[in-house]
Amino acid sequence: MERSHVHILLFLTLINPSVRSASACLWKNSFEFEGKCFEDNKTALTYTEARDGCLSIGGVLATVKSKAQIEHAVSYMPPNAEFWIGANDNAVEGNWVWEDDGAPATELSGIWDSNDDEPTNKAGENCGLISLYPTAKSAFDRMCDATYGFLCMEKDPVTSTITTNDPATTNTAASTTETSAATNTAGSTTETSAVTNTAGSTTDTSATALTTSIQPTTSSKPLT
């Protein structure tokens, strides 16, 4: 029986009643940027509390990858706002990664505040935020237990590939055919029955033929 490789691509998306598609943006204080929803939360929390707050609504602390993204967010936020984003170097000092997927936060190189020579990488300043004060619109590193507002982002779908080796199987229901024929000629009877069953990729065919011949009887009387 032939085996085939079945490749199934599964898109698993975290679903939460408060989260909708990016075009809808139904979070309480949400706005849209490049097809993704963001929520500005003004409640002052530590970095860890802010991270958990985003997760609780089906999101993640925001990944901020450009000045254009910050400029867009400014119009939805109060003046001088400072808010956590999803970047930290908790694991390795100076190695900044995104909270979302653990990828290197290389995009921050164009966002760090140059006036303060950020990131300063002072002891304990392992979490990233965006500050609009006074007009910086730049990234800074801060102590993770300090409290600020935070920016949540709609979480990307998770994509995974599962490969399985399964036999090629075909099920055919009600695939039984019966044929019966009877012929009576000159005292000869022939009966044929054929049954074909198909299940999966295997076909069993059986045929039975039964022939009974009855020879005619001839009586001859002597000529007189």
Residue extents of the structural domains in the chain: 16-160, 177-213
What would the CATH number be for the domain defined by 16-160? 3.10.100.10
Is the pTM of the predicted complex or chain greater than 0.75? no
How does pLDDT run across 126-136, given as a tens digit for each residue? 999 999 887 77
Say what the pLDDT of residue 176 is: 39
Which of 222, 54, 35 is CA-nearest to residue 150?
54
Under DSSP, the state recorded for 56 is H
Render pLDDT for 195-211 as a digit per residue (tens, 0 to 9).
344 444 444 444 333 33
Q: Mean per-residue pLDDT for 47-67? A: 93
**Burial label, 218 (beta-carbon count in 10 A; 0-12, 13-18, 19+):** exposed
Residue with tokens 């991270």, as numbered in its chain: 51
Single-letter code of the amino acid located at 54: C
- Tokens for 68, please give them: 């254009």
The predicted pLDDT at position 24 comes to 65
67: helix, coil or strand?
helix
Whole-angstrom Cα distance, residue 48 to residue 52? 6
| Cβ atoms within 10 Å, residue 55 | 16
Mean pLDDT of the chain: 70
- Report CA torsion sign: 138, 139, 141, 147: positive
On whether the CB atoms of residues 67 and 109 are closer than 8 A, the answer is no
